[in-house]
Amino acid sequence: MRIWKLVVLLAGLAGVIGLFTPLIDTRSSDGRITRDASAFQIARGLDGTGDVRAQAHELGLSPADSERIARAFHAGIEAYAASIVACFVPAGLLAALGLLLMLRDRMGRFAGLCAVGLGGASIVVFTRFWQADQVSHDASSSLGLGVYLLLAAGLGGALAGLGAMVSPDRGH
């Protein structure tokens, strides 16, 4: 038994777990994590409109303007909810591929190519998150564990795929 199919399964599971762990951590000035949000929480809908409404009111906006800004904030989050979850689709497909390979008890070159492609897609998604974090220059926010698990899924899938392409497992 070659280990590549197990690596594909574990890499995919790491990416799926990343869906439920924080994408971003917001820290206070003393370094404590004050808020975080996972892709799953974003897809289900964050209830941050009350916070946005209160912050807008503290800035001196009228209650009507505060409510309008809170609704716009909530609509913006809903618009991106599906795309945030879609970022984890390659990792989910990698987990499904790993499960299929474990059931078939073999991993040929085509499966290796699929693993490299799905792993590469996960790495591209991580890169986009990382670039957005670098451009933001926000000292109070940082990438969360979910984004790094996506990177682990990508690297594991790509490594296992390359290993299977070099030394395919043809079963018994």
pLDDT in tens, 16-62: 999 999 888 777 777 776 777 788 887 776 655 557 777 777 777 78
Within a domain: 171: no
Within a domain: 64: no
- Number of domains composing the chain: 1
Within a domain: 131: yes
Minimal CA–CA distance to 128: which of 156, 114, 147?
A: 147
Determine contact, residues 34/26, Cβ cutoff 8 Å. yes
- The H or E element that residue 38 is part of is strand 33-38
Within a domain: 154: yes
Minimal CA–CA distance to 85: which of 39, 125, 23, 124?
A: 39
pLDDT-based confidence at residue 82 (cuts at 50, 70, 90): confident
Q: What's residue 163's pLDDT?
A: 93
Within a domain: 54: no
**Cα–Cα separations (whole angstroms), residue 29 to 24, 37, 154:** 16, 19, 33
Residue 159 domain boundaries: 4-44+82-166
Task: Please indicate, yes or no, whether the overall pTM of this predicted structure exceeds 0.95.
Answer: no
Within a domain: 161: yes
Within a domain: 77: no
- Bridging pattern class, strands 141-143 and 22-27: antiparallel
pLDDT in tens, 98-153: 999 999 988 999 999 999 999 999 999 999 999 988 887 777 778 889 999 999 99
Q: What's residue 23's pLDDT?
A: 85
Within a domain: 124: yes
Q: What's residue 172's pLDDT?
A: 60
